[in-house]
Amino acid sequence: MSDSLTRREFLGAASTLAAGAALTPDMVSGRSAAAVHVRPQARQVAVASANGIRAVQLAAELMDQGVDTLDAAVEGVKIRELDPEDTSVGYGGLPNEHGVVQLDASCMHGPSRRAGAVGALEGIKTPSVVAKYVLLYTDHIMLVGKGAKEFALSYGFQEEDLLTDKSREIWLRWRANRGPDDDWLNVPAEKDLEFERHGTINCNVVNAAGDVSSVTTTSGLAWKIPGRVGDSPIIGAGQYTDNDIGAAGSTGRGESNIKVCGAFLTVEFRRRGMSPTDAALETLRRVVTTTESRLLDDQGRPKFGLSFYAVKKNGEFGAASLWSGRRYAAFDGREAALHDSAHLFERGR
């Protein structure tokens, strides 16, 4: 990763590898080694939420050029962060109830075992990059609010108005229809202003050497209480990476994911031998068991949506959602395409 490893870390990693090589049975016994162990090559893949089809394509192309896994993943999600037509991530994201866009992001770099995150960041288009800078240049993991913004500005990020004409119009129409007993006029919604109240992009990548990284970025829940932070910037919830196992991340109702540390749990299920898809399904079952009754329908099913995406160190990948009909994006080593997610519940039943 660019600038991510200090000289001390590099030398430490090198000495660890050398020590590991020196402890083969043949060397201990004094016999000549019959062969040199070569680290098996992984399948280079990138997996993301469905809105990340361009992200996985770009991440794969960059890894082909030798770009570090985290740099590749961040560059991939930046496509959405910088897109003013995307009302769920970065620039143009839907604001909180006061009309202010507050962004969240987190990332983890498998090889260096480091992480960075920002929460409730205002005025900066690319929170994923700021999160990476927290990882690179501080001994902290998370910066929030005013402090996160000041940190970004100190590294040359430009403060900008993140509320586009489109997202402002959607917010104004929501504000005008908040309740039948308030003093606001009811303004009819227009089809061209339809939107998703939830929105996030998660991207997990593994390169041909088996190194893994992950990143998640979002503008959070539309109309949220100012200062609300969901799962996206929470290490172990919005995303998690273990370079020995793989990575996982999520999109959907953040509060329900935070309670189970879903990304971490999915990676841990992988550690126990589950496939990426089965691990994601098992995490969703845990979500259901921890959901309070007010958020369950009369059949005991969640009234919200939540999805997990996972990649194994060898390049195996998968995803699962609470409800059917969800898709995810993946570059499988050959091409970028959308795939059907596994699911717990069928819609309409």
Q: Can you give the CATH number for the domain in which 162 is found?
A: 3.60.20.30
Which tokens go with 231? 């799962």
Residue 288 lies in a domain: yes
pLDDT band at residue 43 using 50, 70 and 90 as cut-offs: confident
Which tokens go with 349? 């039943």
At residue 212, the pLDDT reads: 98
Residue 36 lies in a domain: no
Mean per-residue pLDDT for 302-308? 97
Residue 30 lies in a domain: no
- Count of domains forming the chain: 1
pLDDT, mean over the chain:
88
For residues 306 and 232, the answer to whether their CB atoms sit within 8 Å is no
Which tokens go with 316? 């195996």
Q: Do β-strands 114-121 and 142-144 pair in parallel, antiparallel, or remain unpaired?
A: parallel
pLDDT digits (tens, 9 = 90+) for 175-233: 887 765 555 555 555 544 444 555 799 999 999 999 999 999 999 999 999 999 999 99
- Pick from 82-86, 177-181, 195-199, 331-335: least confident: 195-199
Angstrom distance (rounded) from CA 223 to CA 99: 8
For residues 307 and 344, the answer to whether their CB atoms sit within 8 Å is no
Residue 28 lies in a domain: no
At residue 349, the pLDDT reads: 66
Mean per-residue pLDDT for 257-271? 98
For residues 319 and 340, the answer to whether their CB atoms sit within 8 Å is no
Residue 2 lies in a domain: no
Could you tell me the pTM of the whole model?
0.85
Residue 22 lies in a domain: no
pLDDT digits (tens, 9 = 90+) for 122-159: 999 999 999 999 999 999 999 999 999 999 999 999 99
Above 50 in pLDDT, residue 262?
yes
Q: Which of 200, 218, 241, 277 is catalytic?
A: 200
At residue 104, the pLDDT reads: 98
What's the per-residue H, E or C state across 189-217?
A: CCHHHCCCCCCEEEEEEECCCCCEEEEEE
Residue 90 lies in a domain: yes
Residue 296 lies in a domain: yes
**Cβ–Cβ contacts within 10 Å for residue 96, how many?**
21
Share of the chain above pLDDT 70, in %: 82
251 noted as active-site residue: no
Domain carrying residue 326: 45-345
Q: Where are the beta strands (DSSP E) in the chain?
A: 45-49, 103-109, 114-121, 142-144, 200-206, 212-218, 239-242, 246-252, 306-312, 317-323, 327-331, 336-340, 342-345
Beta bridge partners of 340: 327
